[in-house]
Structure 1
Amino acid sequence: MSEIQATTTMDKIVSLSKRRGFIFQSSEIYGGLNSCWDYGPLGVELKNNVKQAWRRKVIQERDDMVGLDASILMHPRVWEASGHVAGFTDPLVDCKVCKQRFRADHLEGDKCPACGGELTEARQFNLMFKTFMGPVEDNAAVVYLRPETAQGIFVNFNNVQTTTRMKLPFGIAQVGKSFRNEITPGNFTFRTREFEQMEIEYFVKPGTDEQYHKEWIDRRFQWYLDLGITKERLRLREHAADELAHYAKGCFDIEYYFPMGWSELEGIANRTDFDLKRHAEYSGQRIDYFDQEANEHYVPYVIEPSAGADRGTLAFLLDAYHEEPDKDEVRVVLKLHRALAPYKVAILPLSKKEPLVAVAKEIEQELRKYWMVDYDDSKAIGRRYRRQDEIGTPYCVTIDFQSLEDKAVTVRDRDTMEQERIPMAELSKYLWEKLAW
């Protein structure tokens, strides 16, 4: 892992993100807001591509999955049933000297890690953001910003199953924002108070749950490999018995080797029938599945692959970052998978003279029908190539004066830097074959 530490520090990714428009500090002109980040023009494309690649794999390519987009604000009884109101807490301690706050379970000793001062006794701190619905701020109006997307799926189990007529096993997938009032957020976008989840609840017949749990672990691990994550930087870690949530039968984390060490990208848990039974109890509604073949009602078990869109985007950025010698300089290149790259193609006319610009603009408009395209005519062509390398654009199309004669363009590959002359009439077909995934 020494190569990761030597070439890919978090500072380099933070600098690249600001410089090239991937991620900005939220409210920066006011001094920023701790642990809140804005995705810039390139960052929003990258993150959307991560989410689209996830949706394609877990919904589009399967006939046993459907999507959902549940409300962020839900009835407060939802969070009582799920156990979040009573038990979604972290132990909080304060330094009596410097007044900083820490999670007690993250400290190695009984002194403040910042100044060595004495710490207060730990107290439990609920991580949910509380707000009020309506004009009156009283206990009857309390609602919460959801701390996870899963509960929106569980409370819609009957609605989805009835309207889609899905038979077990089947799953519901959702991408959405969640909010946790973390005591100690940090490490750029790895741990934030506002984050986006890509979550699946896959419902199965009790007794088949362990089989499907293993299948989802294998599938989700392979997804990261298929999108270019280096295998040596990815691992599975099984939760020990004392780590498991009280309702979980088993859980595995997919971990990535971040600059701060091995940390979770995605968790795949066997949640048994806990959630559906709790919501049936608290709502007074029947929530179960009628198996027509067996002629019986039962409450399904659920397998939950839960991934972070922000953590995934950060991992893809880190893993794609490379520094390579380039004569007397260093070439920075983001070797992002072509499915994830913000721009797929860059159009680079060799000159700003009208004949070249006219051809370049015509090519640009044609390619924009299919992909996100960048147009760059500023400074030397070598500089422009380097800019596209640094933002991860897989292919650059150069239009030169010869193009006016032979009706061909030069296509440069980001990773190999090899160049190929392609007839303009065949350019779209050529790029379709290269960018297909």
Structure 2
Amino acid sequence: MSKQTDDFFKNIISHAKEYGFVFPSSEIYDGLSAVYDYGQLGSELKNNLKTYWWKSMVQLNENIVGIDAAIFMHPTTWKASGHVDGFNDPMIDNKDSKKRYRADQLIEDKIDRYAKDGKTDKAEQLQKELDDALNADDLARLKAIIEEHNIVCPISGTKNWTEVRQFNLMFATQMGAMADGAEQVYLRPETAQGIFVNFLNVQKTGRMKIPFGIAQIGKAFRNEVIARQFIMRMREFEQMEMQFFVRPGSELEWYTRWKETRLKWHLALGADPAKYRYHDHAKLAHYANAAVDIEYEFPFGFKEVEGIHSRTDFDLKQHQEYSKKKMQYFDPEINQNYIPYVIETSIGLDRLFLTVLANSLVQEDLSTPEKQDSRVVLKFHPAIAPVKAAVLPLTKKDGLPDKAREIMAKLKLDFNLQYDEKDAIGKRYRRQDAIGTPFCITVDYQTLDDDTVTIRHRDSMEQERVPAAELGRIIADLVSWNNLLEKLI
């Protein structure tokens, strides 16, 4: 990471805390590693991102419905899914710093450094070595690669490494009042299994016909050993997943379709298309016959924000075997019973949140020959902005606050607003720019005469005079979900 990109990433983190988007969890107790809290603006932005996903996935698709499955599930669920035996990461410890790292991520960081230093051949060769070792599950080879490329511990700076070994990422706990009779259960490491075990419930009660999908937004938990890159990798995180059930043999066609649909969804938010790319998996999970990541170019490099996977019939077949309940679908079009194949779209909400912050945070130089000036602005799409508009009386006297409050009382029934009467109007504009408020409504002395107000547009900083009575309609049009969703149809 160059100093410029490193500084930008630090600016994102500090801005997120300063303006109430993201706080370190339990900060008064020095925090908890890889755990974060969303503040007053962060929770609003997060909810808006969930709404955008839910509307685009469930509301726009007649054959996709949503559920909300419990976090706790019968422990056999995780045996059937393979998580008990196979949900592991290759870990390596540095004996001097006593820190534990994912071996593959240490190597990926080295690949990024080679690429940034212009050593493309070395980066490509190291990527091939890593892919070969991962495909072969060769832990000894992973350690050898770390040694051959002189990869050091980021803390101690030494190469005093242990052997690479597997580490299970699931959190286990006890369910039951009595210690002797307690049953070991797990905090779910993914939300997908809650969909699979409810496949028949949804299909039968909803009279769903193949192809159809089940969507879900929910918390998942993984004992990520490495806390790094802010909210990119956390122990408690939120997923937005949709499992799309299809007829066997049609899965790759649907896989391609969903791959294109999901990238289009990201780009609709207004990001630079050059910052996104597809990354096909070099090593497929044993249950998959195709897998791709949608990656975004963060300040620290391209990283996954969403995965699209063709999971075949593995999940339903496994649950049929372990539960002894038939997970088949009768297809009247071909007069045949079969276990459906599944296309999965899975997006990390926290990573999407970071993507939106990184894509929106801009520092603009507004200097003129007469005056030095600048502003920091979050250029959120208006539909997802935490605060839709700010109501600002020009001064704190002469009845302007009363008129502003009157306008606010009408608009807050439909929109999340802020009221601010402290400091000069220019400072108040800057505060709203910094939290991404797309529109500011200024109430001035002319308002008292003709009941018009000024709307100031965040991105252009242009101002227009409009009747106060028209504000509800004007703001509704500017922040409407339709402005996003129409791009997806």
Shorter-chain TM-score tier = over 0.9
Q: How many residues align?
A: 434
Which residue in the other structure is 2:35 paired with?
Answer: 36
Which residue in the other structure is 1:173 paired with?
Answer: 215
Which residue in the other structure is 1:419 paired with?
Answer: 463
Alignment of 1:321 onto 2:361: yes
Which residue in the other structure is 2:444 paired with?
Answer: 400
Distance 1:82 1:354 in 2: 68
Does the Cα contact within 8 Å between 2:102 and 2:226 map onto a contact in 1? yes
Does the Cα contact within 8 Å between 1:98 and 1:117 map onto a contact in 2? no
Residue 12 of structure 2 aligns with an amino acid whose one-letter code is I
Alignment of 1:135-150 (within 5 A): 135-137=177-179, 141-150=183-192
Distance 2:396 2:251 in 1: 62
Which residue in the other structure is 1:352 paired with?
Answer: 396
Does the Cα contact within 8 Å between 1:265 and 1:307 map onto a contact in 2? yes
Which residue in the other structure is 1:54 paired with?
Answer: 53
Which residue in the other structure is 1:276 paired with?
Answer: 316
Alignment of 1:363-402 (within 5 A): 363-402=407-446
Residue 395 of structure 1 aligns with an amino acid whose one-letter code is F
Shift of residue 97 of structure 1? 2.1
Alignment of 1:247 onto 2:287: yes
Does the Cα contact within 8 Å between 1:8 and 1:321 map onto a contact in 2? no
Distance 1:395 1:190 in 2: 30
Which residue in the other structure is 1:126 paired with?
Answer: 168
Alignment of 1:3-82 (within 5 A): 9-82=8-81
Deviations 1:108-146 (A, max 9, x none): 423651321422222211000010001244686100000
Deviations 1:145-197 (A, max 9, x none): 00000000000000000100010100000000000001213100011011000
Deviations 1:81-109 (A, max 9, x none): 00000000112222222211112223342
TM-score normalised per structure 2: 0.86
Distance 1:93 1:87 in 2: 18
**Structure 2 CA distance for partners of 1:396 and 1:8, relative to 1, 3 Å:** farther
**Structure 2 CA distance for partners of 1:8 and 1:256, relative to 1, 3 Å:** farther
Residue 219 of structure 1 aligns with an amino acid whose one-letter code is T
Shift of residue 7 of structure 1? 9.4
Deviations 1:399-432 (A, max 9, x none): 0011000110000000000000001111111112
Residue 305 of structure 2 aligns with an amino acid whose one-letter code is L
Alignment of 1:153 onto 2:195: yes
1:189 to 231, 244, 259: 231
Distance 2:474 2:94 in 1: 62
2:205 to 149, 153, 163: 163
Alignment of 1:206 onto 2:248: yes
**Structure 2 CA distance for partners of 1:222 and 1:91, relative to 1, 3 Å:** same
Identity %: 52
Residue 355 of structure 2 aligns with an amino acid whose one-letter code is A
Does the Cα contact within 8 Å between 1:9 and 1:259 map onto a contact in 2? yes
- Tell me, what secondary structure is at the counterpart of 1:285? coil
Which residue in the other structure is 1:258 paired with?
Answer: 298
Distance 1:275 1:425 in 2: 56
Does the Cα contact within 8 Å between 2:454 and 2:465 map onto a contact in 1? yes
Shift of residue 313 of structure 1? 0.7
Shift of residue 372 of structure 1? 0.7
Distance 1:245 1:138 in 2: 37
Shift of residue 354 of structure 1? 5.6
Residue 362 of structure 1 aligns with an amino acid whose one-letter code is E
Residue 180 of structure 1 aligns with an amino acid whose one-letter code is R
1:312 to 352, 375, 378: 352
**Structure 2 CA distance for partners of 1:376 and 1:195, relative to 1, 3 Å:** same
Residue 291 of structure 1 aligns with an amino acid whose one-letter code is D
Does the Cα contact within 8 Å between 1:8 and 1:318 map onto a contact in 2? no
Distance 1:292 1:5 in 2: 60
Does the Cα contact within 8 Å between 2:5 and 2:300 map onto a contact in 1? no
Shift of residue 204 of structure 1? 0.5
**Structure 2 CA distance for partners of 1:138 and 1:229, relative to 1, 3 Å:** farther
Which residue in the other structure is 1:361 paired with?
Answer: 405
Does the Cα contact within 8 Å between 1:178 and 1:197 map onto a contact in 2? yes
Which residue in the other structure is 2:472 paired with?
Answer: 428
Does the Cα contact within 8 Å between 1:131 and 1:143 map onto a contact in 2? yes
Alignment of 1:95-106 (within 5 A): 95-106=94-105
Does the Cα contact within 8 Å between 2:305 and 2:347 map onto a contact in 1? yes
- Tell me, what secondary structure is at the counterpart of 1:9? helix
Distance 2:179 2:366 in 1: 62
Distance 2:311 2:279 in 1: 17
Does the Cα contact within 8 Å between 1:342 and 1:372 map onto a contact in 2? yes
**Structure 2 CA distance for partners of 1:112 and 1:132, relative to 1, 3 Å:** farther
Residue 377 of structure 1 aligns with an amino acid whose one-letter code is E
Distance 1:256 1:5 in 2: 18
Alignment gaps of 5+ in structure 2: 108-145, 484-489
Distance 1:53 1:60 in 2: 10
Shift of residue 229 of structure 1? 1.6
Alignment gaps of 5+ in structure 1: none
Name the stretch that deviates more: 292-301 or 46-55. 292-301
- Tell me, what secondary structure is at the counterpart of 1:402? helix
Distance 2:181 2:249 in 1: 42
- Tell me, what secondary structure is at the counterpart of 1:107? helix
Residue 410 of structure 1 aligns with an amino acid whose one-letter code is T
Name the stretch that deviates more: 249-258 or 103-112. 103-112
Distance 2:328 2:227 in 1: 38
